[in-house]
Amino acid sequence: MFKNLTERFSKIFNKLSNQGKLTEKNIKETLREVEQALLEADVALSVVQNFTSSISKSCIGKSIEKSFTPGQELIKIVKQELIEILGKENNHLNLSTQNPSVIMIVGLQGHGKTTSIVKLGKMLKNTKNKKILLVSTDIYRPAAIKQLEVLSKKAKIDFYPSNIDQKPIQIVTKALEFAALKLYDILLIDTAGRLHTDKYMIDEVTNIQKKIQPIETLLVIDAMVGQDAINIVNNFNTNMSITGFIITKTDSDTRAGIALSMRFITKKPIKFISHGESLNEFEIFHPNRIVNRILGMGDMLSLIENIKNKINKENIKKFTHTIKSQNKFSYNDLLVQIQQIKKIGNVTKILNKLPKTGTIFKNIQYNINEQLLFKMETIIHSMTIEERKKPELIKGLRKRRIAKGSGISIQEINSLLKQFNNIKMMVNTIKKGGISKMMKGINKIVNNKSLRK
């Protein structure tokens, strides 16, 4: 979401770092470039003007700490101002109410409400250990209720059935009674998508809010709508009480200005961001972490949380046991590890959360092909159970059969077999505690040319 803005900021601050000190002249020149970058990122003009004015006041006449360069000093000030715009801290959901806590999701059609409500339900179930019930009041869009039911089942969350013959008020009233009777912690209500100019539909969702008094009403906004998001937000916020926002499609090639504008203009917090189709790709909005991403400082905390939430602890225990014991490392073990890596997310998303400065990041090869893991997995799935357990059996005729079954050339299969032997050597190295040797082995595997074609 912030890729373009991050790249622009990086160039701006690198240019400043070559100068000896902060002066009124180079501050003004830098701020003009920062202003241009923000406007091109679709940040509202009023926000940009307030932002650059605050930075200018903080910079002019400021002495630089001895350990800082001019670029680093300005980045520190910019970071503080960005955090002010986005909000100093994350605003968690208000769940301090008698169960069931009711959360209502509203927004325009096509902005990702239904997927977002299921992602939110799954997050609350997994991280807060809450008993969740989902219900849809969308009696207008064909198959909308069925869509929520299917996604709920996929996320293993309970779904309260409704139908197009009912009125939305009746649906939420009965769902709330059922949730209270069955001792649910949270009732999540998915409302019908509506145009912010459609008075009838706005009145409908307003009446639902008055009837059930939700503890939270979250407005879903597509990150790709640009500055029109402010009009959407203002119209909803004028007619009903919005407590926060969910920004969707943040994995798109969007200009990101919506995130920097909404919080400042409305004074309402962004609570969650959604990215990707997977139900796991949903995270709490932490302003300080987002600012770190924008400024190229990485987001290690979110990356660590992401890994902790998605990695199967039981599989890690088994893998650790395999390493420590005298058991042979097999293709079954490799397959488990590939699947764990895929759960975390693709390599590009992981790299985007790493700091963009320093020797470690500079040494990372950006030409890693995401198809590498797919090829490895496909080849392993084309093996027999016996071949997976005993890699030494894979020769001649077996290789040709695997190549035919996987649609991958014998040359690439030979390469995988070679890399598998490297991994086995790494496992032995881990047993002996040679971490530096292990890292060199990983580098060879990642940069293997025959599997990156």
> Is the distance from CB of 9 to CB of 260 less than 8 angstroms?
no
Distance CA 179, CA 132 (A): 9
Q: Which amino acid is residue 408, in one-letter code?
A: I
Give every CB contact of residue 324 below 8 A, 6+ residues apart in sequence. Answer: 431
What are φ and ψ of residue 143, in 5° steps? 65, 15
Distance CA 90, CA 269 (A): 8
For the annotated binding site, the residues are: 107-114, 190-194, 248-251
The span from the first CA to the last CA of the chain, in angstroms, equals 28
State whether the Cα torsion 29-31-35-37 is positive or negative: positive
CA 106 to each of CA 144, 184, 196, 242, 352: distance values in angstroms, whole numbers, following the listed order: 14, 21, 11, 9, 30
Peptide bond connecting 100 to the previous residue in cis, omega within 30 degrees of 0 = yes
> Is the distance from CB of 73 to CB of 64 less than 8 angstroms?
yes
Closest by CA to 165, choosing from 139, 196, 194, 183, is: 139
Give every CB contact of residue 272 below 8 A, 6+ residues apart in sequence. Answer: 116, 120, 218, 246, 247, 282, 283, 284, 285
Strand partners, 284: 272
Distance CA 15, CA 240 (A): 47
Give every CB contact of residue 406 below 8 A, 6+ residues apart in sequence. Answer: 378, 379, 381, 382, 413
CA 142 to each of CA 119, 148, 172, 196, 229: distance values in angstroms, whole numbers, following the listed order: 21, 12, 19, 20, 26
Closest by CA to 243, choosing from 407, 372, 134, 105, is: 105
Q: 432-447 in b/e burial notation, b at 16+ Cβ within 10 A?
A: eeeeeebeebeeebbe
Cβ neighbours, 10 Å, residue 305 = 16
101-107/186-190 β-pairing: parallel
What are φ and ψ of residue 340, in 5° steps? -65, -40
For the annotated binding site for GTP, the residues are: 107-114, 190-194, 248-251
Residue 364, helix vs strand vs coil:
coil
